[in-house]
Amino acid sequence: MQVIPHITDEIKSAIKRVGADVDVVIVEIGGTVGDIESQPFLEAIRQMRNEAGKENTLFVHLTLVPYIETSHELKSKPTQHSVRELLAIGIQPDIVLCRTDRFLPKDIRAKISLFCNVPEAAVITAKDVKSIYEVPLVLSQEGLDEIVLKCLNLTSRPRDLTAWLELVDKIHHPLDEVTVAIVGKYVEYEDAYKSLHEALVHGGLANRARVNIRWIESECLLDDNYADRLSPYDAVLVPGGFGKRGIDGMIRAIRWARENNVPYFGICLGMQCAVIEYARNVCSLDADSSEFNPATSHRVIYKLRELLGVEDMGGTMRLGAYPCNLEPDSLAFRIYGQREISERHRHRYEFNREYEETLTSYGMKICGNSPDRNFVEIVELPEHPWFLGCQFHPEFKSKPLSPHPLFTSFIAAAYAYKQQHAPKNTTADCRLRVAD
């Protein structure tokens, strides 16, 4: 096998498959120009321009224009050298996006235009902003959208950013705020929960509320003071994850939320831990997941390939979008407002339906099922103000202008809880950090 043509042809084929039924495909190639990892991808898009034609392709290059504080000047040399590297492999950028902390003055734009062989209008300031959701407004102000349409010979109706302006206004001028504790095992690497973080922000925007997130390492909840660490918060969320580490701390957080009527949202592993906690502390079973304890006597959660009647799954992970039917007399149905939904999955372990009768007899409600009823998708506690666990990842489908309904409802419940309780001291001594 050779890089050219075998690998580059596969890259081009993947791009073409994505673009089969759309007008524009956006392809991002990460890394730094010159890195060996990106070379096959850059070569592939160079070839694609020759095949598709210049009028059907557009190269946008993101570069850094640093400001040197000691000399009080912007430096365009990194941009010039980066573009020179691209030119050396046969790629001429059509637009240069200049990442910087201030708007570029005309003389710097003119210099970049001259040495990088792009029109001055195509030298765009990608200025640092307080919120990532301000970026489209800044780029629109710079005229990036009009240049893209012109380069690709596309027509469009006049720009209307009214909804986006309202969104940014909600971000900067919330009417109130709530504080959500995320109890997980990867909190030292917040990017692991990036989609979740943004989905919570979206849910807050729908309620005109700022969402303050406190990241709690689940292993910090194993001492006798765990309740004091959780009590300052308006809601608890346990996200997805793999492996046994930190599970006992998550289960403690879930029990605390359940017994104190604090809104609780469990996603993937968070739902599985909620089932385990309920089986142990309400149903009095010595329950566990076969992921954490293969020898457990009550495996209320077990591996996908062990499910009765499920064969030839093509691997051990349920991955991608799957349909789900909701029970009409459930919190989930009231949130979604429809019986049939579709959500994205990424997990190996499932609810064991052999324990369905036991758990439901003690009050847990299974309100979301796959159409063939092999898979449990959503559980909830009807006697609790807001307690819901889902096997899927709703954060993957949330958008700033279209927040996922589960997150919208969860933040509304957190705000209702806050209103019902006196202000609390939100200081905790367990490796917590605020996610702005």
Q: Which DSSP string corresponds to 342-396?
A: EEEEEESEEE-GGGHHHHHHTT-EEEEE-TTSSSEEEEE-TTSSSEEEESS-GGG
Helix (H) or strand (E) holding 302: strand 298-303
- The answer to whether the beta carbons of residues 363 and 381 sit under 8 Å apart is yes
Residue of 99, 141, 96 lying closest to 117 (CA atoms)? 96
pLDDT band at residue 95 using 50, 70 and 90 as cut-offs: very high
Average pLDDT over residues 192-199: 92
DSSP 162-222: HHHHHHHHHHHS-SEEEEEEEEES-TTSGGGGHHHHHHHHHHHHHTTEEEEEEEEEGGGGS
Return d(Cα 317, Cα 349) in angstroms, integer. 8
Q: Which of 268, 273, 324, 430 is catalytic?
A: 268
Residue 427 has pLDDT above 50, yes or no: no
Q: What is the pLDDT of residues 352-364, one digit of tens each?
A: 999 999 999 999 9
The structural domains of the chain, ordered by start, are 3-162 (3.40.50.300), 174-435 (3.40.50.880)
- pLDDT-derived band at 315 (thresholds 50, 70, 90) equals low
Q: Is 39 exposed, middle or buried, given 0-12, 13-18 or 19+ CB atoms closer than 10 A?
A: middle
Counting beta carbons within 10 angstroms of the beta carbon of residue 371, is it exposed (0 to 12), middle (13 to 18) or buried (19 or more)? Answer: exposed
Q: Would you state the pLDDT for residue 430?
A: 46
CB 303 within 8 A of CB 316: yes
Residue 125 CB coordination number (10 Å): 20
In the DSSP assignment, the letter for residue 104 is P
> How many residues are there in the chain?
436
What pLDDT, on a 0 to 100 scale, did the predictor assign at position 190?
75
Q: Is 235 helix (H, G, I), strand (E, B) or coil?
A: strand
From 142, 277, 291, 395, the catalytic residue = 395
Q: Pseudo-torsion of CA 64, 65, 67, 73, nearest 10°? A: 160
pLDDT for the residue 242: 84
Per the structure block, which two tokens stand in for 126?
A: 């990608």
Say if residue 219 is exposed, middle or buried (CB neighbours under 10 Å; 0-12, 13-18, 19+). middle
Average pLDDT, the chain: 91
Q: How far apart are CA 16 and CA 7, in angstroms?
A: 14
Residue from 197, 202, 384, 393 carrying the catalytic annotation: 393
Q: Which residues are 237's β-sheet partners?
A: 182, 265
Please give the Cα distance from 151 to 31 (Å, whole number).
Answer: 25
CB proximity list for 163: less than 8 A, separation 6 or greater: 401
Q: Per-residue pLDDT averaged across 108-113, rounded?
A: 96
The answer to whether 242 and 223 are in contact (CB under 8 A) is no
For residue 313, name the pLDDT band (cuts at 50, 70, 90): very low
Percentage with pLDDT > 90 across the chain: 80
Look at residue 386 in the predicted model and tell me its pLDDT: 98
Active site residue 395: yes
- Higher local confidence (pLDDT), 436 or 25: 25
- Under the banding of pLDDT at 50, 70 and 90, the label for residue 187 is confident
Active site residue 10: no
Is 404 a catalytic site residue?
Answer: no
Q: Give the residues across from 399 on adjacent strands.
A: 402
d(CA 272, CA 300): 8
Rg (CA), the chain: 26
46: its two tokens: 């160079």
CB-based contacts of 72: which residues, under 8 Å, 6+ apart? none
